[in-house]
């Protein structure tokens, strides 16, 4: 009977994992999130390792609330560090109008970091330049 219980416990450990976190290393990234100099009220940040710069670490994400984001907050997940592509999506309120959606490269340290984001307002296209 004791052996059956031990075998069952071992099987659960194999299926669900026992011990520490075996996934990739993750670091806390937090900071301000602005659009055209003003706080983004509601949105999200996704931090993806930049494969073009040979980074294959863990992807991170965080909610933006009232101009702040933190990958260690509820709903977030830390980032592995190094070169990344940051994608910011911002709304004027929860369930509201999209105000920005932009990607840009960054280089984050391997460790907890603070990184402020300021998404610039898009410039109108020059109508005198023909599109090719």
**Mean pLDDT value across residues 1-17:** 46
Buried b / exposed e across 28-67, counting CB within 10 Å, b at 16+?
Answer: bbbbebbbeeeebbbbbbbbbbbeeeebebbbbbbbbbeb
Residue 11: is its pLDDT beyond 60? no
Parallel, antiparallel or unpaired: strands 117-119 and 29-35: parallel
Question: Among residues 72, 65, 62, which one has the least CA distance to residue 27?
Answer: 72
Per-domain residue ranges for the chain?
25-119
* 114 vs 22 pLDDT, higher one: 114
For 87, phi then psi, to 5°, come to -115, 120
Confidence of residue 126 (pLDDT cuts 50, 70, 90): low
Return the pLDDT at 22: 61
**Mean pLDDT value across residues 58-70:** 97
Residue 16: is its pLDDT beyond 60? no
Return the pLDDT at 125: 56
Retrieve residue 29's tokens: 């990234």
Residue 97: is its pLDDT beyond 90? yes
Residue 103: is its pLDDT beyond 60? yes
Return the pLDDT at 38: 96
pTM recorded for the entire structure: 0.74
> Which of the four CATH numbers 1.20.140.10, 3.40.640.10, 1.10.760.10, 2.60.40.10 does domain 25-119 have?
2.60.40.10
Return the pLDDT at 61: 97
């Amino acid at each position: 009977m004791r052996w059956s219980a031990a075998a069952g416990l071992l099987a659960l450990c194999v299926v669900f994992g026992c011990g520490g976190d075996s996934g990739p290393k993750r670091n806390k990234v937090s900071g301000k999130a602005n659009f055209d100099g003003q706080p983004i009220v509601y949105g999200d940040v996704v931090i993806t390792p930049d494969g073009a710069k040979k980074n294959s670490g863990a992807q991170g994400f965080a909610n933006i609330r009232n101009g702040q984001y933190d990958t260690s907050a509820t709903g977030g997940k830390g980032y592995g560090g190094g070169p990344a592509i940051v994608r910011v999506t911002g709304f004027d309120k929860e369930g509201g109008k999209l105000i920005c959606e932009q990607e840009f490269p960054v280089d984050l340290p391997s460790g907890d970091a603070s990184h402020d984001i300021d998404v610039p307002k898009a410039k109108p296209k020059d109508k005198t330049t023909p599109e090719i």
